[in-house]
Amino acid sequence: MNLTEEERQRLELRDRDSLFGSGDPPRLSVPVGAANLGLHIYSRGFSDAADAIVECITQGHLSMDDGYLFPLIALYRHSIELELKSLIIETRSLLDKEPEVPTGHKILPLWEKARPLLEEALAEPSDRKNLDHIEEYLRILHRMPYAFARYPFDEKGERVVPPEEFKEINLKTLKDAMNRLYSALRSLSEYVFIMKDFKSDAFRDY
C-alpha cells in the first residue's frame, strides 16, 4: 500500500488521541445529547445513510467491489426495525396501554406486536388495508437472514447463506423498495403523533 507522507501521518495512532471529540473542520463537528431524540430520529438517520451509500455508488464514487452491500442492507434493515419499535411505543401510548420498550431484532415479531395496535388506533377501514401491503414488504425483509449483512457466520460458526431469492440484489430496486416501506411506516407514525397531539389538546380543553 503506497501512501504519501501526509497520508501516513494522518493514519498513525497518536498518544491521547480522541475517537469522539471536536476537530477540524468545525462544520463536521456535531453536538451530541442536546435533545431527547426519539427512535424515529435514529431510524431516519440509518435510512438516509443507506441512501447516501447507494447515491455514491450510483455516481461512481464508491465501488460495489469494496463490500458496501453488507452495511447497506444492515442500515436499511435497522431503520425499519427502529421504526417498528417506535410505532409500538407511541401507539401503546396513544391507546393508554402499559408502556413497553420492545426488544429483539426480528422483523415479523415486531410487526406482530405493532399491527394489532395500529388496527385499534386507525379510524378508517381503508387505512387498515395499507397494513397488508406493509406486511408483504416486511415478510420479504424478514426472510433475509439477520446475520447476513453483519457477519459471514452465524452463532454456530456456520456460514450464513441467504435464500435463493436474494442471490442477486439490484441497489436501485433495494433503495426504492426500502424507501417506499420506510415512507409507509413513517406515515403511520405521523398519524399516531397527530392523534396523540389531538388527544392531548382535547384533554387540556376539557
Name all domains of the chain by residue range, CATH numbers in brackets. 37-194 (1.20.120)
CB 74 within 8 A of CB 174: no
Residue 127 pLDDT > 60: yes
- Cell numbers given for 81: 426495525
170's grid cell = 439490484
Q: If DSSP codes are grouped into helix, strand and coil, which group holds residue 149?
A: coil
Of 142, 150, 166, nearest in space to 72 by CA? 150
Is 126 a residue whose pLDDT tops 70?
no
pLDDT, tens digit (0-9, with 9 covering 90-100), for 174-201: 999 999 999 999 999 999 999 888 877 6
CA distance 35 to 170: 37
Residues 6+ apart with CB under 8 A from 47: 75, 76, 79, 178, 179, 182
Residue 16's pLDDT is 67
Contact 85, 113 (CB under 8 A): no
pLDDT at 102: 92
Q: What is the 3-state secondary structure (H, E, C) of 63-115?
A: CHHHCCHHHHHHHHHHHHHHHHHHHHHHHHHHCCCCCCCCCCCCHHHHHHHHH
pLDDT at residue 106 in the model: 93
Most confident region among 34-38, 67-71, 94-98, 128-132 by mean pLDDT: 94-98
Confidence of residue 166 (pLDDT cuts 50, 70, 90): confident
Largest interatomic CA distance in the chain = 72
